[in-house]
């Protein structure tokens, strides 16, 4: 019997057998049977012409038309159908044709099925990759929107909190003046406590505003001549009481480049150094040591702040530079900015990174790991470009005048003079 006759003879039982097994429900079965009829017509053309490309149109349609459920669940339904077609075609041919005719037919159609299966698998993979890419794009968009919402919340909350805080601060100051004048010393301690709370709240709000500025690329820098040694000495003066209360030792060593006059925003760089140093104090136990050192590199000055604290595990060394990137359980943190393992909003180091990167520098941390028994410590590295020119000619001229001057007194970022200090441990 000719191949065409064999194909015509098994067509109806072939469609009925496959649709009955692979389609559930009468309505689904009717639509599926129509697709099987189309497939069978193209299969006949491929067998009679010897050109398997006849099946490509329907294979393309099937391979690119999986449902969202199939994609989400990872099902490859069309390739499964083609696989089952092979077994069911063998079954139908054996039942409706002679052994010889069945073997002749299967010898021709099985290679066609094999080719069809490889084509469908490729199409299904392309569809799945496109689906996954689309889902990843949607997820990334949602995450970006979430981050934008978080930044907007920080900005709005910080500015909204600042107004009532200013009012509270003003009224507290007036109450303190009234108490001092009336001699009611019993309220003085209470007002000092309120003032301390206001100061801490203002610091948090200022940090929130800084984070918002950094996130939105709105951080402006006031570039001016500065000496690293000035900022480090000011840092020692400001943290002297904290270091004394914690019975710690702060060592600031002289290093090449600390007296080099560079160009940057002294207030912001001081803020960055202050954040890293107070972080070292916070995670170093009482009687511990914080050491500030550095070196001059080609085009950069490196400031190294090392501590003998609890250290940071490798997987967390990037987390600490992210917003609100606190380590450990926040409900177990002690309160206070410099108490051992004291809590906080987790904004100091992200702000520091934003400031350093805005200057064209970088910051990273090294640590052998977290250990609250052996105290392996952490070492923060800050790289700052050694700029020696200003874009504004007037400032450049002033900068050139400063190069001939030897610093004799310390001036903090706010412009107030402080007495010079030596480099002995605090």
Q: Using one digit for the tens of pLDDT, what is the confidence trace for 300-345?
A: 999 999 999 999 999 888 889 987 766 555 544 444 566 788 766 7
pLDDT at residue 73 in the model: 44
CB burial of 58-70 (b: ≥16 within 10 Å; e: otherwise) equals bbeebbeebeeeb
Mean pLDDT value across the chain: 80
Q: Using one digit for the tens of pLDDT, what is the confidence trace for 104-136?
A: 889 998 998 888 888 888 887 887 788 788 888
Q: What is the rounded distance in angstroms from the CA atom of residue 383 to the CA atom of residue 373? A: 31
Name the residue among 297, 283, 413 with its Cα closest to residue 355.
413
What backbone torsions phi and psi does residue 301 show, to the nearest 5 degrees?
Answer: -115, 130
Predicted model pTM: 0.55
Answer yes or no: is pLDDT of 83 > 70.
Answer: yes
Q: How many CA atoms are closer than 13 Å to the CA of 235, on its beta-carbon side?
A: 29
Q: Percentage of the chain surpassing pLDDT 70? A: 78
Q: Which of 7-16, 147-156, 269-278, 329-338 has the lowest mean pLDDT?
A: 329-338
Q: Assign 278 to helix, strand or coil.
A: helix
Answer yes or no: is pLDDT of 74 > 60.
Answer: no
Name the residue among 301, 310, 307 with its Cα closest to residue 250.
307
């Amino acid at each position: 019997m000719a191949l065409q006759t064999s194909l015509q003879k098994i067509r109806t039982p072939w469609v009925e057998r496959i649709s009955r097994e692979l389609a559930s429900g009468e309505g689904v079965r009717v639509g599926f049977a129509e697709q099987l009829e189309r497939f069978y017509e193209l299969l006949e053309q491929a067998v009679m012409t010897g050109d398997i490309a006849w099946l490509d149109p329907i294979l393309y349609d099937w391979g690119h038309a999986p449902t969202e459920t199939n994609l989400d669940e990872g099902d490859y339904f069309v390739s499964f159908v083609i696989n089952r077609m092979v077994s069911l075609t063998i079954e139908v041919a054996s039942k409706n044709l002679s052994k010889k005719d069945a073997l002749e037919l299967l010898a021709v159609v099985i290679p066609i099925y094999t080719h069809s299966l490889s084509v469908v698998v490729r199409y299904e993979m392309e569809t799945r990759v496109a689906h996954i890419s689309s889902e990843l794009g949607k997820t990334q968009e949602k995450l970006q929107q979430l981050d934008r919402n978080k930044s907007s919340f920080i900005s709005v909350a910080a500015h909204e909190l600042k107004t009532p805080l200013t009012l509270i601060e003003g009224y507290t100051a007036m109450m303190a003046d009234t108490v001092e004048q009336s001699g009611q010393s019993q309220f003085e301690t209470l007002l000092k406590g309120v003032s301390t709370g206001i100061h801490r709240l203002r610091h948090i709000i200022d940090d929130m505003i800084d984070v918002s500025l950094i996130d939105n690329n709105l951080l402006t820098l006031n570039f001016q001549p500065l000496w690293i040694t000035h900022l480090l000495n000011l840092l020692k003066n400001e943290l002297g009481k904290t270091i004394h209360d914690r019975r710690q030792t702060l060592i600031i060593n002289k290093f090449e480049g600390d007296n080099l006059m560079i160009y940057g925003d002294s207030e912001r760089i001081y803020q960055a150094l202050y954040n890293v140093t107070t972080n070292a104090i916070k995670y170093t136990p009482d009687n511990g040591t914080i050491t500030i050192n550095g070196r001059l590199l080609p085009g950069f000055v490196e400031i190294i702040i090392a501590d003998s604290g609890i250290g940071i595990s490798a997987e967390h060394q990037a987390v600490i530079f992210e917003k609100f990137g606190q380590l450990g359980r926040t409900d177990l943190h002690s309160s206070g900015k410099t108490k051992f393992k004291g809590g906080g909003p987790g904004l100091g180091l992200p702000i520091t990174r934003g400031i350093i990167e805005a200057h064209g520098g970088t910051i990273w941390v090294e640590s052998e790991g977290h250990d609250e028994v052996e105290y392996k410590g952490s070492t923060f590295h800050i790289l700052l470009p050694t700029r020696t020119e200003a874009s504004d000619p007037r400032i450049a001229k002033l900068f050139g005048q400063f190069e001939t001057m030897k610093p004799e007194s310390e001036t903090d970022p706010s412009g107030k003079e402080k007495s010079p200090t030596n480099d002995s441990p605090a």
